[in-house]
Amino acid sequence: THSVVVFVSLHSGKVLVLPGEYSHWQNMRAIVEELVDRNHNVTVLVHTASPTVKRSQQERFEYMVFKVNMEQEDAQHLWQSFIAAWMSYDSTMFQKVSLYWNVLSGFMIYVKEVCYGILNEQLITLLKESHYDVIFYDPMMPCSDLLAETLGVPHVVSLRLTLAYYYERMCGQMPAPPSYVPAVASQAHLTDHMDFTERLENMLLYIAHTAIFRLQSMFMFDRHYTKIMGRPTTLCDTVGKADIWLIRSYWDFEYPRPFLPNFKFVGGLHCKPAKPLPKAMEEFVQSSGVDGIVVFSLGSMVKNLTKERANTIASALGQIPQKVLWRYSGEKPDTLTPNTRMYDWIPQNDLLGKERILYIYIYIYIYIYIYIYIYIYIYIYI
């Protein structure tokens, strides 16, 4: 008999992670934990004002914290203020503009402070001496792409989508023909089968979103990047150098269109086998009988609603036969019915594993980015 001995060379890499906030971090965290499971050394770079990354917890990876001239409470208040301003439907146009002006002025300061902090000379020197093999970042972290460019290491982008696929098209060179690829989250009635009028509408949406993004990039980022790099540099110059784009969705949810080889769909990486529910919640779920349950959530960013809007939602939920688990930490609505229970937090992964679940609704506030870019334009020119 003959024996064959195979020697396998394993390389443990050093990964620098720049997380986004709220659900963005939850998705990235699943990848971070898998990297740790595979014996890679992972460092999560986070600023002192991060409202969601709990760096005080004991983790299997390392946190590296850089200081910004902003308090955590101020950053959290900034995000909540923007949501509140965006949802102020009853305000006059002047009041809305005033609200957005104040909030976006705060965002300008936030972006500026994070960029200055992340590109601090001492931090850059420390990161260069650490010799990272790759940077994994969310564009929600300001100047994360510029840090990757400064360090000169390969980088991987974690992204769900941008309006009209601007980043993907203009920076990542991904094809998105407007003739059959609807502008993302703009008009729900547009599909990959459009008549002439719908194609015209879709083209106008692409033009509008592209113009807004170009203005935002030109006046908010490109000038800053050029100043830091000492040579003409644009946002797409740096983001476009990403080696891999990880798209936090399923191909099944997308309309058919061409993709480049470095665009990978990674939806559901954070999903895990369901665990038992807390006793009281389990009893409520089981009491639903054959009607089943509905899980209602407005995402991780929305903590509160106006009393009128909360009452409207509660009243509507009370008209369905299912038992409803509503993730909401605001004041209890007056119209809340016995079939609905409110929770500050719900084990969404475990609830999705229940056979009785009929529907889960999570409304993503992607339209807020439209307003960000519009009012950045106003901010610059006034």
The tokens for 355 are: 């056979």
92-118 mean pLDDT: 73
Report the alpha-carbon angle 309-315-320, nearest 5: 135
The answer to whether residue 216 scores a pLDDT higher than 60 is yes
- Report the alpha-carbon distance of residue 74 to residue 5 in Å, rounded: 60
Residue 45 is classified by DSSP as: E
Residue 315 region by backbone torsions, left for phi larger than 0, else alpha for psi between -120 and 50, else beta: alpha
The answer to whether residue 336 scores a pLDDT higher than 60 is yes
- Let me know if 68 is exposed, middle or buried by CB neighbors in 10 A (0-12, 13-18, 19+): buried
- pLDDT class for 135, splitting at 50, 70, 90? very high
The answer to whether residues 118 and 45 touch, using CB atoms and an 8 Å cutoff, is yes
Among 3-7, 199-203, 344-348, 362-366, which range has the highest average pLDDT? 199-203
Residue 243 is classified by DSSP as: S
Give domain limits for the chain. Answer: 14-71+105-270, 279-362
The tokens for 258 are: 């061409």
The answer to whether residue 7 scores a pLDDT higher than 60 is no
Q: Look at residues 86, 14, 108, 97 and name the one whose alpha carbon lies nearest to residue 364.
A: 86
**Which comes out higher in pLDDT, residue 138 or 56?**
138
150-174 mean pLDDT: 86
Residue 276 is classified by DSSP as: P
- pLDDT class for 73, splitting at 50, 70, 90? confident
The answer to whether residue 134 scores a pLDDT higher than 70 is yes
CATH architecture of the domain with range 279-362: 3-Layer(aba) Sandwich (3.40)
Count CA atoms within 13 Å of residue 359 on its CB side: 11
59-83 mean pLDDT: 78
14-71+105-270 and 279-362 agree in CATH topology: yes
Q: Which amino acid is at 97?
A: V
The domain over range 14-71+105-270 is classified in CATH as 2.20.25.90: no
- Report the alpha-carbon distance of residue 246 to residue 266 in Å, rounded: 6
pLDDT score of 50: 81
Report the alpha-carbon angle 163-31-242, nearest 5: 50
pLDDT score of 358: 57
Q: Which amino acid is at 231?
A: R
31-56 mean pLDDT: 85
- pLDDT class for 160, splitting at 50, 70, 90? confident
- pLDDT class for 223, splitting at 50, 70, 90? confident
pLDDT score of 96: 62
- pLDDT class for 229, splitting at 50, 70, 90? confident
Strand bridging mode 244-247 / 340-343:
unpaired
Write down the number of H helices and E strands in the chain.
13, 11
> pLDDT > 90: what percent of the chain?
9
Report the DSSP beta bridge partners of residue 83.
none
Q: What pLDDT, in 10s, does the model give residues 275-321? A: 888 899 988 988 888 888 888 887 766 666 778 888 888 998 899 88
The answer to whether residue 2 scores a pLDDT higher than 60 is no
pLDDT score of 60: 84
Q: Look at residues 328, 327, 325 and name the one whose alpha carbon lies nearest to residue 357.
A: 325
Q: What is the pTM of this model?
A: 0.76
